[in-house]
Every structure is written in structure tokens, then in C-alpha cells.
Amino acid sequence: MSLPDKIPYDIHKSGRSVGLLESHSIYSRTVDRLAPATKRFWWTRALGLRNLVRNQIYCYTLATAILLIVFPRIVAVDRSRPQGFDEPAHIAAGMEWLQFHTYHLDPLHPPLARIAISAPLYFAGVRFRETDSKSLPQFWDAGNSILYQNNSYLHNLFLARIGVLVFFAVLTAVLFIWTKRIFGDFAAFACVLLTATLPVLLSFASLAYTDLPATCLQVACLFIFTLWLEKPSAERSIALALLFGLAILSKFTSVLYIPVAAATIFLARHLLRNKVARESGTRSKVFTRSLLMALLSILVIWGGYRFSSGHIDEVLGISPAEAPSFQHFPTPVRSIARAAVNSDWAVPAPSFWVGLGQAWVMNKSAPDAYLLGKHKSGGWWYFFLVESLFKTPIPFLILAMIGLRSVFLRFKVGDWESVGPAIGAATILILTTMVSTNYGLRHVLLVFPLLAIIAGAGAARLWNNQSRWRDPARVAVVVLIAWQCFSALRPGADWIAYFNELAGRDPTRIAVSGCDFDCGQDVLKLARELRRLNVGHLSVAVWTSSDLSRMGLPEFDVLEQFHPQPGWIAVSARSTREGDVLHTSYAPGALSWLNQFQPVARIGSTIALYNIPSINGNAPKLIDNPKPTIAVVSTR
């Protein structure tokens, strides 16, 4: 079906949108000579990408240039910034898998991304000093023992982060190909540029966290799914099954996000095409392949856990006499879990089921959340929507809204493939309104690459405008992209603490959790400033998993809650707003007595440094003193 003229793209005879770069005659003659070479690669034929390899030299060159500019900046951050809070846990679990061939230390997350994180360290010769996994300390300490090994803290941390950077490169490549396929050259170029300068993605591309690898595999899985819907060939079926299994092996959110997003994309395709395959033989073939794909995905997941198996009592240490109530599980699952414990079933990949259960219980336990200056158990249905509004650059939001116009026009004429990224992003955002674990945007990171495709389409719509507003539209594209590039790449930019201009001067009143502002990134800057000021003793209340005794700080003690005292005090934003100090959670307002003083320095984006004077030899007075409570922090 042809698209109407009012859509600002020329349409290739195959139905593919053609952008500005493909119109250059010399360029076209060059790629026409190179195109036959693409026939030699089976994977371009199998995935239906051969046509996309044509006419891409300019786009590939520009996209590669963008990455060559951005990647050194990420590497520079990787080599200078201290650990994010969860990095030791991921490093420890991955190293356990590689060194001891077990996965018991921290099964809350699947192993794939953690293996990628720990592999550079492993190949560099870094190992646990313990002889078996049963001798390992708690995973925070185990991870720190790796990071501080050989007095090479920043180097070891850099090695761990290299594995994540590879996934970021793959993510940009997948987005380029997907956007090029449905929106053309300029949209693909703009999508890569917007992705490579999106602070929320850059922040997790520069941390050894599981979220960016998971996002990469989730995006790739959804892309291959759209190709599979168009032509469910054997090659695409295998690719889809492998990617789905790998996505689940990277993060448990894939169990929810991919099937639901895929179902909505399939429904949109069905409604727009108003037909499905009617031949019973075709339907039977697709059904059979779907079963085989499910089996292959299961084998991939089991393989990620080294094809482990064991009886519940032996492997998990759960006997019928000590069985938990499973009260947080749905009734059918609760019955199966009780039967499994009572009968001591043998199960494949026991750590997979333990981790999946822990993730479910964490969500159902409705942990405390912070948003817009308020605390609430279980959070708010609009938590991720509000954070997305304030954590996303305004130029990106503007281009995404313009891109939705292009998507809507294509939707009206039945172009289901162009609607896929928008439907996927909308589906995931709707799903977030139903969860009660509000730990930050990293749990919905998949939304942003999908929106980048739409934003790229918006940039192309403006650039290819053929009306009398063509020149102003192109100026607008340049201004918007330059605005975002400056926000992300300006000297001293802190991607973790980034909030857009709508957040005002104090974004901590909006959100600080889940590495959306404070992830412990300023501890080394604090140490340098204290050395400059020649501070001999410090009281500290910061949110970090690092071993502060090895971070170059002077003699220090941990600031107690509701305990005013004179002297040098360093407090981070998350500790002030949420009461999270190291691995302990104080009551809200436990450090509010500091509000009566002005900090003598701001360290980085997150730490306030005070020099509190004594009053007539006495400590400052406590203004408010609600009943103190202490809890162990669980923010993962």
C-alpha cells in the first residue's frame, strides 16, 4: 500500500522510505557497484537486511563518527568515576559464575550481563582469593575485594565497565538498522545521534550495571520480532528464540516487557492489516515453529545457569519444615511452590527460580519510594512517567512528539511496522503504572531507545519538510540536536545527576533514588577536596557501597541520625532526602537539622560539605526529632 504524498518521505518502489542522503547521484552510483557484494552474506539475506546495506555509506560514516566522539568521553568517565552502588554485587556474582561455576551469591539478577561485566577482569587475571563459593563473604564485600585487588581500584572498575560499553555499541547499531528500515537515512542518523547523547542511557553505559545490556538485547529482540512477523523464516525464528533467551538471561524484566510489547505489536499489525495467514498449513507451520522457539529459549536460559539442577532441599536449603508461606505469590503459583517444597522436587536452574521469586517478592513487598519531596510505601502509579518527563532532554521530547505525528500518518494508511517502536514504548510505560517498585528509570530503560527511533523520525520529518517552512524547520532540527549534544557532552556534565530545565535549580526534590541522581559518584571528588582543605576528621553520611576506608578520606566516622554535632560533615543528596547512608536507611528527616546551616562547598553534583561551628562549646541543637528507625537498605 502506498503512503500519501503528505508524509514527508519519498517512497522507494519497495515501500521503504528514502531519505535525503540517498538522492546524491555519485553516491548512488558508488553503492550500486558495491551492492552485489552484499549478496555473499547469508545473514543479510536471512534477516531481510540486504536492501538496507545499499545506500548507507554516508549514514554509516556519520553514525560511526558520532560514536567515535562519544565513546572516548564514556571511557574517560569510566576511568575516573568511583563505583555505582550496585556494581560490586554484579561483579561478585559474575566472577562467581566464571571462577567457581556456581551462581548462589546473589541470584536476584540473571547471570548474562554480570558475566560480560566480570569477563574482562577474569581475563586480566583478577580472581577471588577464596577457594570456593561457599567461603565468599556477603556479595557487597566480595565485589569490593575484586575492585580493590592489587591496589588497582579505578583500573579494575574500568575493566568491569568495558563489557557494558560493548552492549551500548550494539544497541546503537540495532537502532540504526531498525530506524533506517522504517524511516530512512536521516532518521537513522538522528536516532543514533540522539541515543548517543541521551544522559539516561549514557549514565548506565558508563556503569557496570545489568540495565544497559538488558536494554540492548530487549531492543534487538523486538526488532527481530517485527521481521519475524513479516516473514517467520527458520533463520528469523532461531534468531528470535536466541535473543529472547539471552534477554531473559540479562534481566528478569524481559519476562514481562518482551511478551507484552510483542503482543501489542502483533495486535496492531493484525488490526492494521485486517487479516492473518488463512492457510491452515501456514498457521500450523508457524505454531510448530513457535513451540520450537520456546524450547530453544528455555535451553538458552538453562545454559546460562550452566545446565544446573538439583533438589530443592539440597540446592536451595528449603525443607518442608522450614518452608516459607509464599504469601506474595499468586494462588496457583503458591500451590505449586508448596508442592515442590513438600515433595522436594528436582528442578532445572534452581538459581533462576530463586532470583525470579526474589524479584516478584520485592515488587509485592511495596518498598518505600521518594518522589516530589514525599515518601510513600509502594510508590505512585505515575512515578516513572514523572521521572521520564524530568530526566529526558527537552529537545528529545520535542522531536519525539513530532515523530509521533509521522507515526500517526503511517498508522492511518496501515503501515504497522512504523508503529511498532511507539507501541512498544507506550506498552512498557503503561506496565510501569502497575508496579510498586519505584527504584528509578533504569528499570524502564527500554523505553528510551524505542523513543529515540520516534525522535529520529521527528527530526527527519522536519528536515525533509517541503513546505515554505523548510529552512526554519531545518534550523530547528540543528538547534534541537545541538541543545541536546551540549547538555550531554559539555565539560563536567554528570549524566547520572542529569535533569532537564523543567526540574528547576534543585532536582533532588523530584527524585534521587535508583541512580537517577545520587549513585555514590562523587566520593573521590570529596576526598580530593578534603585533602585540599587539609581536613583532619570528617563525619560522613553518603550513599555508597565503596569501602570508605580505602577511598583516600581522612579519619572519619559515620554521622548518626538525629545527632547534631560540630565539625566537618559531608552529606550526599540521597542521604539527605531519603535517609540512605551506606547500607543503612535512616528515618525521613534524620539529617534535617543540617538545613539550618549553609554548606561551605558543593562536591560534584551530590555532596554538600559543612563545617559546623560549636555554640559555646556545645553541639548544635536538634530542631525536629521524630522517632528514629533504622532499616537495611534494599534498593536493587
Please, are residues 449 and 175 in contact by the beta-carbon 8 Å criterion? yes
Element (H, E) at 78: helix 57-78
Whether 74 and 203 have beta carbons less than 8 Å apart is answered as no
Whether the pLDDT of residue 20 is over 60: the answer is no
Instruction: Please name the residue ranges forming H helices in 233-378.
Output: 234-250, 254-273, 280-304, 312-316, 331-343, 350-364
Average confidence score pLDDT of the chain: 83
Residues 36 and 54: beta-carbon distance below 8 Å: no
Closest among 260, 194, 256 to 225, alpha carbons compared: 260
Q: Which residues contact 531 (CB under 8 A, 6 or more apart)?
A: 552, 554
DSSP 511: -
Q: Distance (Å, rounded) from C-alpha 225 to C-alpha 303?
A: 22
pLDDT in the model for residue 54 = 47
pLDDT mean over 101-116: 94
Q: Are 164 and 205 in contact (CB under 8 A)?
A: yes
> Does the pLDDT value for residue 447 go beyond 60?
yes
Region class of 337: left (phi > 0), else alpha (psi between -120 and 50), else beta: alpha
Indicate whether 449 pLDDT > 80.
yes
pLDDT at 325: 60
pLDDT of residue 369: 85
Per-residue pLDDT, averaged over 68-93, amounts to 90
Rounded (10°) angle between helices 153-183 and 416-432? 140
Average pLDDT of span 470-478: 89
pLDDT in tens, 216-228: 999 999 999 999 9
Task: Provide φ and ψ at 579, rounded to 5°.
Answer: 85, 15
User: Is it the case that residue 505 has pLDDT exceeding 50?
Assistant: yes
Cell output for 159: 575493566
Are 128 and 95 spatial neighbours (Cβ–Cβ below 8 Å)?
A: yes
Element holding 612 (H helix, E strand): strand 607-612
Distance CA 43, CA 441 (A): 34
Long-range (24+ apart) CB contacts under 8 A made by 73-79 are: 73/489, 74/165, 74/168, 74/202, 74/205, 74/206, 75/158, 75/165, 77/206, 77/495, 78/157, 78/158, 78/161, 78/162, 78/165, 78/206, 79/154, 79/155, 79/158
371/485 Cα distance (integer angstroms): 28
- Find cell 528442578 and name the residue: 347
Report the pLDDT averaged over residues 405-424: 88
C-alpha cell at 239: 534468531
Q: What is the mean pLDDT of residues 106-118?
A: 95
- Cα→Cα distances 618→227, 564, 622, Å: 71, 10, 12
**Regarding beta strands 584-586 and 630-632, do their DSSP bridges make them parallel or antiparallel, or are they unpaired?**
antiparallel
Q: Are 377 and 368 within 8 A, CB to CB?
A: yes
Helices (H), 491-543: 523-533
CB atoms within 10 A of CB 560: 16
Residue 224: how many other CB atoms lie within 10 Å: 22
Residue 66 banded pLDDT, cuts 50, 70, 90: confident
Residue 371 CA to residue 510 CA, distance in Å, equals 5
Cα separation, 344 vs 356, in Å, equals 19
Give the C-alpha separation, 308 to 350, whole Å: 7
3 pLDDT tier (thresholds 50, 70, 90): very low
In the chain, where are the structural domains located?
10-76+163-304+371-489, 86-151, 309-368, 523-632
Handedness of CA 485, 490, 493, 497 (dihedral sign): negative
The residue that leads in pLDDT, 549 or 42, is 549
Distance CA(618)–CA(443), nearest Å, equals: 46
pLDDT at 281 > cutoff 60: no
pLDDT score of 339 more than 80 = no
The counts of H helices and E strands in the chain are 24, 14
Phi, psi of 601 (to 5 degrees): -160, 150
Better pLDDT: 419 or 42: 419
Q: What are 582-633's pLDDT values in tens digits?
A: 988 888 888 988 988 999 999 999 999 999 987 655 666 665 544 434 344 4
Q: Tell me which H or E stretch contains 11.
A: strand 10-11
Residue 397 has, within 13 A of its CA and on its CB side, a CA count of 12
Confidence bin at 526 (pLDDT 50/70/90): very high
Q: Is the pLDDT of residue 34 over 50?
A: no
Residue 558: CB partners within 8 Å, gap ≥ 6? 539, 540, 541, 581, 582
Q: Which of the 8 DSSP states describes residue 406? A: H
